[in-house]
Structures are given as C-alpha cells and as structure tokens.
C-alpha cells in the first residue's frame, strides 16, 4: 500500500543517523502524539542554536513518522522559553547574523505540515513567545507569561513577534507589548485571543497531550487541509481564502475518509479512518 508520508525508516536512511539531543527531550506518546520538551533549565530554555537545531531535527522526525498525527512542544513549569540565548548573541555583529541567516532555522516549526500545539507554562518571552506563536495554537497553563521584551536589550523581535503578535492580538496590544516590553498573563492572553485555552498547572502537559490525542484521532487528510485553510486566512483576501477553502472542501469528497466519516455517522458508530 502506498504511504501518505515518508516512513521513519526512510527518514533514517535519508538523514543517515541519529542526532543526540542535549537541549530537548523527544518522546512518542500514546494516541499518535509526538512530545518535544525544551530542556535547558539552567538558562530557562533560552533558544540557543544547538536547541533550535535539535528542535528542527525532532520536527523532521515526527513529520516523517506515519504514527504521529500531532506534535506538542512544551517547556518546564517555570519557562516555556525565555527567548533567544542572549549570552550566545551578545558578541555577534551584523555580518555574523546576516551571513548565517540567523533565525531562519526557527522557521521549521511554522513549516510543519502536521499540527503543532505549544503548551506554555511559565515564561514565553521574546523568541519563546515567537516560537509559541509559530505553532498552530497555544494552550496556556495558569502561570503562563507572554512578552516581547527585546526593546530592553536594544533590539526588537526577530522571529516574527511584531507580525504574528499583531495578527493575534491587534495593533494596540502588540504595540504596547513590543514598545514597553511588558508581560501579559494567561488570563489576558486568553481574553485577547493569543491562546486558545487556559488549563490548570496541575497535570498541564497531560491535559495538552489529551488535546493533541484528540487532533491525532481525526482523519489525517482533513486535519492537514483544515490547517492549510486556516493558515491561508492570514496570507490572502477573504474572497480568495473562501475560494481556497471551497476547493479544499470539494477535494475531501475524493477521500475514502469522507465516505467512511459520513457512513459512520449514518450508522451511528465511530468512524475508522484510513487516512486516505
Ligand atoms: N538568554 C540566556 N540566558 C538566559 C535567558 C536568555 N534569554 N533568560 C534567562 N537566562 C538565564 C539567566 O542569565 C540565568 O542564568 P545564570 O543563573 O547563569 O545567571 C538563568 O537563566 C535564570 O534566569 P534569572 O536568574 O534571570 O531568572 P529570574 O526568575 O530572576 O528571571 C526572567 C526570569 C524574567 C525570564 C529573566 O531571566 C529574563 O528577563 N530573561 C530574558 C528575557 C528576554 O529578554 N528575552 C528576549 C531575548 S531576545 C530574543 O528573543 C530575540 C528574538 O526575538 C529572536
């Protein structure tokens, strides 16, 4: 049977080996969920180059793995991530960041075709907030704290903060956060639409995994197409976006899962997806 995605075996033969992680942990969870935990507690998960490379590699692996239907990125109880690594960036000059195309590697998360959920507890500041916003949606623990405090360092957001935050929360709030560097707590983030839901800190990761399992349990093609459609809303006019959605909607009628989903509804049973 032809596979929808490359297999993990294909992945290994293409990549030719296994990257050892020292800044993240990588765990395949039940229900087709891939968990990535940022794990640099000594620096509040500051996003150094090595961490970003490991994160990209982990996304590559989950993307190539047919068993995974949804990815969760989380950090610790104290920090999702406190931003780009200031100590690593401190001595860099313009030519260093320009020639190395600094930040480009961060875009891997936003380019993932599978759904990615950011599960944010504690600080999500600067690049940490930007990383969370490059996921498909953010679930926040009660203690989550968001901010773009780059102005305090004589720089500005560089991983999409000024653009994505504005789309999430509107001009006034985004300006306020980018110009004053103030933090936003979970309640405010929920109220203004930066996060999709706020969950208790207790069992937070387990609750986020439960949401991911729910996403992963759906028909894979419909999930991928729904994600493409929502993302298209940010890149095009309303009329073009609606046309795009309609075309995608029509194409679901060519899937086996549309037949199965509707048949199962009529027969009052749970659908058995073929992901085709
Ligand atoms: N980079 C490197 N190290 C960091 C860091 C960062 N972004 N954030 C925290 N750390 C380190 C601290 O230096 C400290 O290390 P030492 O013990 O070796 O001194 C350790 O993590 C613990 O931090 P604090 O002692 O400061 O912890 P705190 O609880 O007192 O404060 C905090 C927490 C408010 C998050 C504070 O650490 C802080 O303000 N961090 C920086 C936040 C920030 O400015 N982020 C933006 C970075 S720039 C960026 O992200 C650019 C971009 O857009 C891509």
The per-residue pLDDT for range 128-168, each reduced to its tens digit, is 999 999 999 999 999 999 999 999 999 999 999 999 999 99
Examine the pLDDT at 17 and tell me if it is beyond 60: no
CB distance 221 to ligand 1 below 6 Å: no
CB distance 157 to ligand 1 below 6 Å: yes
Closest-lying ligand 1 atom to the alpha carbon of residue 128: 50
Examine the pLDDT at 216 and tell me if it is beyond 70: yes
Examine the pLDDT at 1 and tell me if it is beyond 50: no
Question: Considering the chain, what is the average pLDDT of its residues?
Answer: 94
Predicted confidence at residue 64, as pLDDT, reads 96
CB distance 43 to ligand 1 below 6 Å: yes
Strand partners, 125: 147
Predicted confidence at residue 3, as pLDDT, reads 39
Alpha carbon of 90 to ligand 1 centroid (Å): 13
**Alpha-carbon gap, residue 10 to 8, rounded angstroms:** 5
Q: What distance lies between CA 143 and its chain's CA centroid?
A: 19
**Alpha-carbon gap, residue 52 to 121, rounded angstroms:** 19
Residues 24, 39 contacting (CB under 8 angstroms) = yes
Among candidate residues 85, 74, 92, 66, the one with its CA nearest the CA of residue 27: 74
Predicted confidence at residue 101, as pLDDT, reads 95
Closest-lying ligand 1 atom to the alpha carbon of residue 158: 53
C-alpha to C-alpha distances, 209 to 20, 191, 217, nearest whole angstrom: 24, 23, 12
Alpha carbon of 271 to ligand 1 centroid (Å): 47
Which residue is it, tokens 């959605």? 245
Closest-lying ligand 1 atom to the alpha carbon of residue 43: 21
Examine the pLDDT at 5 and tell me if it is beyond 90: no
Predicted confidence at residue 14, as pLDDT, reads 47
pLDDT digits (tens, 9 = 90+) for 222-246: 999 999 999 999 999 999 999 999 9
Examine the pLDDT at 114 and tell me if it is beyond 50: yes
Residues 70, 114 contacting (CB under 8 angstroms) = yes
Nearest CA owner, ligand 1 atom 40: 82
Among candidate residues 241, 211, 187, 252, the one with its CA nearest the CA of residue 74: 211
**Alpha-carbon gap, residue 262 to 270, rounded angstroms:** 10
1-5, 33-37, 41-45, 87-91: range with lowest mean pLDDT: 1-5
Question: Torsions phi, psi of 139, nearest 5?
Answer: -105, 135
**The token pair that represents 73 in the structure block:** 């990125």
């Amino acid at each position: 049977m032809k596979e929808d995605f490359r297999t993990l075996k294909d992945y290994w033969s293409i990549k030719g080996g296994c990257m050892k992680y020292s800044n993240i942990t990588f765990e395949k969870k039940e229900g087709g969920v891939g968990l990535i935990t940022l794990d640099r507690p000594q620096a509040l998960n500051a996003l150094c180059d090595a961490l970003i490379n490991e994160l990209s590699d982990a996304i590559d692996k989950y993307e190539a793995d047919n068993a995974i239907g949804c990815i969760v990125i989380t950090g610790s109880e104290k920090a999702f991530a406190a931003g780009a690594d200031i100590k690593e960036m401190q001595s860099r000059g313009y030519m260093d960041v320009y020639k190395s195309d600094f930040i480009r590697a961060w875009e891997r998360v936003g380019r993932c075709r599978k759904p990615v959920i950011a599960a944010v507890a504690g600080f999500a500041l600067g690049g940490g907030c930007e990383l969370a916003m490059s996921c498909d949606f953010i679930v926040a623990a009660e203690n989550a704290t968001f901010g773009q405090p780059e102005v305090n360092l004589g720089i500005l957001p560089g991983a999409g903060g000024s653009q994505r935050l504005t789309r999430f929360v509107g001009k006034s709030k985004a300006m306020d956060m980018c110009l004053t560097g103030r933090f936003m707590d979970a309640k405010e983030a929920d109220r203004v639409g930066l996060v999709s839901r706020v969950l208790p800190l207790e069992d937070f990761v387990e609750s986020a995994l439960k949401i991911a399992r729910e996403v992963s349990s759906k028909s894979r093609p419909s999930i991928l197409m729904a994600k493409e459609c929502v993302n298209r809303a940010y890149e095009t006019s309303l009329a073009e976006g609606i046309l795009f959605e309609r075309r995608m909607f029509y194409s679901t009628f060519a899937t086996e899962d549309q037949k199965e989903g509707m048949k199962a509804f009529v027969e009052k049973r749970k659908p058995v997806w073929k992901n085709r």
